[in-house]
Amino acid sequence: MKHKILFVAAAAFALGGAAARSPEIHSEDVERFYAVYDAAGGKPTAEAIQRNYLDKGTAGLAEFAKLRRFTGESMAKAIEERPAVFADARRCAAVLPAVKTRLSPMLAKLGKLYPAAIYPPVTLAIGRGRTGGTANTSGVMVGLETLCAVDFLNPNLEDRFVHLIAHEYVHVQQPAAQIENPEEKVLRAALIEGGAEFIGELISGSVSYTHLQTATKGRELELETAFAAEQDQVALKSRWLYNGVGTPEWPGDLGYWVGYRIAKAYYVHARDKKAAVRDIIEMQDAKAFLANSGWRPGIKLD
């Protein structure tokens, strides 16, 4: 969700008015990968992947590879080490036509809620099994093989892709999401991720981390009291964000859920809902946003 490649092109989409209020959606990189994969009997060489997949790919794939630092060599190694991940991803490739049909009208809703929205492309591709989704102002990039493997997010494959892309497309809009800061604090990181969850829900009908809503039910006061006490810790290596699947007692990425609830509290208490959407997306001062949200640990929001 960082960096600024193709920002001019993205801005051109925004200036195009109503006619340009949905992005281009590319999935041809997936087809190209599996052509290379099948030709090699599921064991493509680094050279074949580089020459016939990466070098011939879309601009979104090139950006994805640059952001997540993968090459033909690293992809061939990943396929050798975890062949099932790439073989099993075929089942997710089958839902892409339905996903693409849903994305354009869904993302067009964003412009109604947030008129300043930009509309760079969505690229569905194959990576090296490390990144399900990422975004910056050049667009959203989805690693099909990785997202396909994380069944805990949503058992419905089509919904999993749609809601994750909604989340990532909100990151495209967020100024705070364009900067990688290893010292980012828990509160601000949670508001960036939770804001993307909440706005993503407004446009798609659901958050992407649906499992957290089930895992936290009845524990809101307990968990959010702990969050409030630890909000000033560094997010990386904290127990709130970017910490994997976690355990049944303490699921990973609980900060997404708390940040969502803070953003929702802000929206619920706001008289001007369109202004509230703008404030959530453009949030910079995390402490001020929290203070103005009306949130408190255990707050009832439904």
pLDDT at res. 11: 35
| Cα–Cα distance, 175 to 114 (Å, whole number) | 14
Tokens of 98: 């339905």
What's the CA gap between 58 and 147, in Å, rounded?
20
Q: Yes or no: say if 14 and 119 are a contact pair by the CB < 8 Å rule.
A: yes
Three-state secondary structure call for residue 234 = strand
Sign of the CA dihedral with 229 first, then 231, 234, and 237 last = positive
pLDDT at 9: 33
pLDDT, residue 2, reads 39
Residue by residue, DSSP assigns 200-220 as HHHHHSS-S-HHHHHHTTT-H
Looking at residue 152, its pLDDT comes to 87
Report the 10 Å Cβ neighbour count for 284.
12
How many angstroms separate the CA atoms of 197 and 205, rounded? 11
Q: Please report, in tens digits, the pLDDT of each residue of the chain (302 residues total).
A: 433 333 233 333 333 333 447 799 999 999 999 999 999 999 999 999 999 999 999 999 999 999 999 999 999 999 999 999 999 999 999 999 999 999 999 999 999 999 999 999 999 999 999 999 999 999 999 999 999 999 888 999 999 999 999 999 999 999 999 998 999 999 999 999 999 999 999 999 999 999 999 999 999 999 999 999 999 999 999 999 999 899 999 999 999 999 999 999 999 999 999 999 999 999 999 999 999 999 999 999 97
Query: Residue 46 corresponds to which amino acid?
Result: A
Count of CB atoms situated within 10 Å of the CB of 38: 10
pLDDT value, residue 160: 97
Distance CA 20, CA 28 (A): 21
In order of 232, 277, 288, the CA distances from 229 in angstroms are 8, 27, 17
